[in-house]
Amino acid sequence: MAQIEQPKNQLKNPLDVCGYDDKNEQAPREECGVFGVWAPGEEVAKLAYFGLFALQHRGQEAAGIAVGDGDQVVVYKDLGLVSQIFDEPTLESLSGDVAVGHTRYSTAGGVTWENSQPMFRVAPDGTDVALCHNGNLVNLLELMNEAEEKKLVSAAEFPSDSDVMTALLAEKITTGRTLLDSARQLLPRIKGAFCLTITDGHTLYAARDPEGVRPLCLGRLDRGWVVASETCALDIVGASFVREIEPGELIAIDESGIHSERFAQPQRKGCVFEYVYLARPDSVIRERNVNSTRLEIGRRLAKEWPAQGDLVIPVPESGNPAAVGFAQESGIPFGQGLVKNAYVGRTFIQPSQTLRQLGIRLKLNPLREVIQGKRLIVVDDSIVRGNTQRALIRMLREAGAAEVHVRIASPPVKWPCFYGIDFASPGELIANVVTGDNETEMVASVCSAIGADSLGYVSTESMVEATQQPREELCCACFDGVYPLGLPEGNANAELVSALQRGSCGGVE
């Protein structure tokens, strides 16, 4: 009999509660990381565990692993970090030949144990189904209505898109109809961004949406196969990179080998923000190293927005490669002027007003002897609401910086993402809030709002060129407002975006 285990001592909602603003000004967050391994005779739960460690940056609210031994699937998941959820005895108890794993940030469905993944369902014929999903669906309302009519989910309980997919996938598995048959029927009907790893306890399945918005790759072990959101997860488990899972591709891995088929024709629209911020710098996406891309963005940023300064410093860790590139191109020395406390962001202690007032100092602390009296060029990956940069600049000035010039390794973020990144709503994005009738005035207004001596954003053209990918094969919706997969139904932010694009909204509210 299949089982799904919930730890007795559940962790509290692991949001970043030590923000410097009640709204918790945070960097853009990827929704999820997915992992799958088929390797009979290996400790697949431990391989999944290490793979999820490598994908921890893609989701820090919850994690889980499902393991199948051919007879049943056992799921173990909880809220929190991978290291907080799993220990040696737990991993030892998860024995089998195939496993799927997940790290989660929530963008569809709340932060609850029920919405953590892998999702689990038992099909009418008794087949166990465990599913992991990275992305967001734009036709969730349609699929949810169908699932509710079939009494598979209750909309009143706010199921995630992943739960709805799992329910519909399992429902079609009956005598004489396999999970593969069900996937062939369901996948062409799903619209939006999705990378999936699925198991029925015997076979490992993986699928990627026709646009290939999120990355998904295939790796080879000595005695098995691995599927992961990023190549860095292949590296950590000792798997060699084989290839990408192609957009619109469904694969099945079992003792007979790999079976591959297309459920849709590819129409590539890979997320450019994977290169800018989301992916780990040691990952490779479409044969382009992420770190090299960020270095090149920094070089181009220095050409487009030169500055007179004494020291180039990054906002760690995400600003590091672009800052190095900026320093290389400008000839201005690179230095570490800020020290990051890597352990603050995942605290479970509710913040007091005193902690809130400490704000960004809980996460970053200036090296006074490095920055005192210096004209600083501070390189960051993006500006969302602007609270982070405003507090950071104030802190640097208090530490003795003579000037603070800010350079951003992405264009202004003006539009929310509906394909798997947790951005703020349009009215919370500082590029929309400040005054200005054109790009120059907008940049000047943001510069004034954050208190910088000067501000520069890299151009969309330079960012795209740094990826070495064709512009027509990238999604840049958060920068240009062009949504290649369409907008989701029944979403307030999507309705606002639609109104803004029609010009029927007097301004961003």
Residue-by-residue DSSP string for 68-99: E-SS-EEEEEEES-HHHH--HHHHHH--SSEE
Rounded Cα–Cα distance for residues 84 and 475 (Å)? 35
Is the per-residue pLDDT at 409 higher than 50? yes
Rounded Cα–Cα distance for residues 40 and 253 (Å)? 12
Say what the pLDDT of residue 444 is: 95
Express as a percent the part of the chain with pLDDT over 90.
Answer: 78
Q: What are the residue ranges spanned by the domains of the chain?
A: 31-268, 287-502
Q: How many other C-beta atoms can be found within 10 angstroms of the C-beta atom of residue 46?
A: 18
- Where do we find the tokens 């890979």? 270
Q: Are 126 and 175 in contact (CB under 8 A)?
A: no
Q: Which amino acid belongs to residue 440?
A: T
In three-state secondary structure terms, 462 is helix
Mean pLDDT confidence for 222-240: 98
Is the per-residue pLDDT at 403 higher than 80? yes
Both tokens assigned to 13: 């909602």
Tell me the pLDDT band of 357, cut-offs 50, 70 and 90: low
Say what the pLDDT of residue 26 is: 55
The closest of 215, 388, 376, 368 to 318, measured between CA atoms, is 388
Say what the pLDDT of residue 23 is: 41
Active site residue 32: yes
Is the per-residue pLDDT at 3 higher than 50? no
Tell me the pLDDT band of 29, cut-offs 50, 70 and 90: low
Q: What angle do CA 130, 178, 223 make, to 5 degrees?
A: 60
First CA to last CA across the chain, in angstroms?
52
Tell me the pLDDT band of 346, cut-offs 50, 70 and 90: very low
What does the pLDDT look like over 32-79, one tens digit per residue? 999 999 999 999 999 999 999 999 999 999 999 999 999 999 999 999
Mean pLDDT confidence for 4-33: 45
The closest of 475, 461, 423 to 214, measured between CA atoms, is 475
Tell me the pLDDT band of 504, cut-offs 50, 70 and 90: low
What does the pLDDT look like over 247-282, one tens digit per residue? 999 999 999 999 999 999 999 999 999 999 999 999
Mean predicted lDDT score pLDDT of the chain: 90
Rounded Cα–Cα distance for residues 66 and 37 (Å)? 10
CA atoms lying within 13 Å on the CB side of residue 202? 9
In three-state secondary structure terms, 330 is helix
Tell me the pLDDT band of 342, cut-offs 50, 70 and 90: confident
Express as a percent the part of the chain with pLDDT over 70.
Answer: 88
Tell me the pLDDT band of 508, cut-offs 50, 70 and 90: very low
Q: Which sign does the torsion angle of CA 480, 482, 488, 490 carry?
A: positive
- Where do we find the tokens 């290939």? 212
What does the pLDDT look like over 182-203, one tens digit per residue? 999 999 999 999 999 999 999 9
Going along 303-448, which residue ranges are E strands? 311-314, 338-340, 364-366, 375-380, 403-408, 421-422
**314 Cα distance to chain centroid:** 21
- CATH number for 287-502 (one of 3.10.580.10, 1.20.1530.20, 3.40.50.2020, 3.30.465.10): it is 3.40.50.2020
Tell me the pLDDT band of 15, cut-offs 50, 70 and 90: very low
Say what the pLDDT of residue 412 is: 96
Distances (CA, A) of 236 to 57, 126, 161, 221: 14, 35, 29, 12
Mean pLDDT lowest for which of 1-15, 202-216, 307-321, 489-503? 1-15
What does the pLDDT look like over 81-103, one tens digit per residue? 999 999 999 999 999 999 999 99
Rounded Cα–Cα distance for residues 276 and 480 (Å)? 15
Rounded Cα–Cα distance for residues 284 and 31 (Å)? 19
The closest of 61, 23, 29, 30 to 386, measured between CA atoms, is 23
Catalytic residue among 32, 217, 232, 478: 32
Rounded Cα–Cα distance for residues 183 and 476 (Å)? 29
Q: Which fold has domain 31-268?
A: Glutamine Phosphoribosylpyrophosphate, subunit 1, domain 1 (3.60.20)
Is the per-residue pLDDT at 9 higher than 70? no
- Where do we find the tokens 């962790």? 11
The closest of 367, 53, 494, 13 to 232, measured between CA atoms, is 53
Rounded Cα–Cα distance for residues 63 and 82 (Å)? 6
Is the per-residue pLDDT at 1 higher than 50? no
Stated length of the chain = 509
Q: Are 294 and 409 in contact (CB under 8 A)?
A: yes
Q: Is the model's pTM score more than 0.85?
A: yes
